[in-house]
Amino acid sequence: MTTTINPVDVTAELRAAQLPTWAPKGVLALAAVAGLATHFLGDSALLTVAVTWSICYLLPVWSLIVEGTRKATDRFVTVLVTSAFALALFPLFSILFTVVSKGTKVLSAEFFTYSMRNVVGEGGGIYQAMVGTLLITGAATVISVPIGLFAAIYLVEYADGNRLSRWVRFLVDVMTGIPSIVAGLFAYALFVLFFGEGVRMGIGGSVALSVLMIPVVVRSSEEMLKLVPNELREASYALGVPKWRTVAKVVLPTALAGIVTGITLSIARVIGETAPLLIIAGITDSVNFNLFEGRMATLPVFTFSSIANPGIPPQFSIDRAWGAALVLLLIVMLLNLIARLVSYFFSPKGER
């Protein structure tokens, strides 16, 4: 059976009628103007998106009339992909705009240096929540990084695809998807065994966060270690270097940039968790520097508590909640920026 392929007449395509070069930008400008007009007149976000999106699809219709089916299909797919990308970015920019616009008005030196102790109504700040967030997250990092890194080294360098390694990978994948509140309940149940009912302490929050953080560290470190060429290991073994020293002096330094990036991203992933810290760490208006005694405030729980129990008048508490949310967002963005900078400056030159 033979298949006949009809050749495309390139000359005819080039000589055919085409849209003016300003057509895509003109349709985009028209869509933007119509969207703004709809927003100010109708005050409906859904209607604004619908009108803007509909006008963008005038471009493939115009192309179908002037250029024919082939180019109209290409323009239709281009508009479809671009509009889907813009639609995916819309929630991100909406969140950023809302948090920044509502959170910046409460930012001040007092907001960062004062706690909520004996504060009713206006005033106070998030000092106790920032201290708690840094201490609890730092302790979770100290717990998670050695466990996760050593587990990844075992899976890549020592397991050799045995049954135990397959079970460990399966359990790590399962732990990656567990709800955060389950980690909080686990930490609470664990500490109840030693300290009794109603226990609240910062180290419990660190244990809960480490349950969420360890799987991310394991998977990211494992993938980075796999990227290290086997030739480097074999060259080290040929020189008579033992396995543990090869891992410490050859494998880990080579994969260090990727490992640090994965650890930084795992910190950014858990620093905003609310449910586990609400269960085991609790909330307080005072500053607590002791992880092993008493309740500790954190930024996510402070934000939730300020919205759930705003007090009278509620506006001051709600404003502080938006300010705390903005600070938490900035910390997460800073951690992601650090991860990218570490990956860029410390990765091998060929991977930049």
pLDDT at 139: 94
Q: Are residues 23 and 140 in the same domain?
A: no
86-108: pLDDT as tens digits:
888 888 888 888 899 888 888 88
Identify the band that residue 189 occupies on the pLDDT scale cut at 50, 70 and 90: very high
Q: What percent of the chain has pLDDT over 70?
A: 93
Q: Are residues 313 and 244 in the same domain?
A: yes
**Domain contains 9:** no
**Domain contains 120:** no
Q: Are residues 71 and 140 in the same domain?
A: no
Element (DSSP H or E) covering residue 107: none
61-91: pLDDT as tens digits:
888 888 888 888 888 898 889 888 888 888 8
The residue assigned the tokens 């206006």 is 122
Identify the band that residue 24 occupies on the pLDDT scale cut at 50, 70 and 90: confident
pLDDT at 9: 53
pLDDT at 203: 92
Q: Are residues 142 and 226 in the same domain?
A: yes
Q: Give the range of the structural domain holding residue 203, as residue numbers without chain letter.
A: 127-351
Structural domains in the chain (count): 2
Query: 0.75 cut: is pTM over it?
Result: yes
Q: Are residues 93 and 197 in the same domain?
A: no
Dist. CA 305–CA 129, nearest whole Å? 11
Report in angstroms the alpha-carbon separations of 155 from 167, 200, 226, 242.
Answer: 11, 35, 10, 18
Dist. CA 128–CA 59, nearest whole Å? 55
CATH number at residue 312: 1.10.3720.10
Q: Are residues 185 and 311 in the same domain?
A: yes
pLDDT of 145 higher than 90: yes
Dist. CA 127–CA 298, nearest whole Å? 10
Q: Are residues 82 and 141 in the same domain?
A: no
Backbone angles phi, psi at 198, to 5 degrees: 75, 15
Backbone angles phi, psi at 40, to 5 degrees: -75, -30
Q: Are residues 345 and 196 in the same domain?
A: yes
Which residues make Cβ contacts (< 8 Å) with residue 4, sequence separation at least 6?
none
- For 111, the token pair is 């907001």
